[in-house]
């Protein structure tokens, strides 16, 4: 687990690994990519929601359009953020989204 400023971060290599981890551990927020091998981010989110996990969920993608955004938000994502342009701007946006969902709890 890495620690950056006020964030502690746990990473997983796949959605299946994350599902296993989340059956044992609780986190304040989940950040997932949309496109992943094996199980995409929407299927991951739906699997979590189907088992009653209401952890705030932020979906990020580098290749998303309106259809992907609508699908992610419809499945229960709290935020949908496109990774484009300046990486610093993306990370600022992501940090604000994390602080928003964590602050609402």
Q: The domain that contains 72 carries what CATH number?
A: 3.40.50.2300
Confirm whether 1 is domain-assigned.
Answer: no
List the chain residues with pLDDT less than 50: 2-3
Classify residue 96: in a domain, yes or no.
yes
35-57 per-position pLDDT tens digit: 988 999 999 999 999 999 999 99
Inside any domain, residue 51: yes
Contact 23, 15 (CB under 8 A): no
Tell me what pLDDT residue 37 has. 86
Domain around 82: 26-103
Q: Is residue 11 part of a domain?
A: no
The dihedral formed by the CA atoms of 11, 17, 23 and 25, expressed in degrees to the nearest 10: -20
Q: How many domains does the chain have?
A: 1
Residue 85 has a pLDDT of: 86
Position 10 in a domain: no
């Amino acid at each position: 687990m890495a620690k950056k400023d006020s964030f502690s971060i746990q990473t997983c290599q796949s959605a299946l690994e994350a599902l296993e981890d989340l059956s044992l551990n609780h986190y304040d927020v989940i950040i997932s990519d949309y496109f992943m091998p094996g199980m995409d981010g929407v299927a991951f989110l739906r699997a979590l929601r189907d088992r009653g996990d209401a952890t705030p969920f932020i979906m990020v993608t580098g290749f998303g359009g309106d259809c992907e955004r609508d699908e992610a938000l419809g499945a229960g994502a709290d935020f949908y953020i496109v990774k484009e342009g300046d990486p610093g701007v993306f990370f600022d946006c992501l940090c604000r989204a994390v602080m928003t969902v964590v602050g609402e709890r």
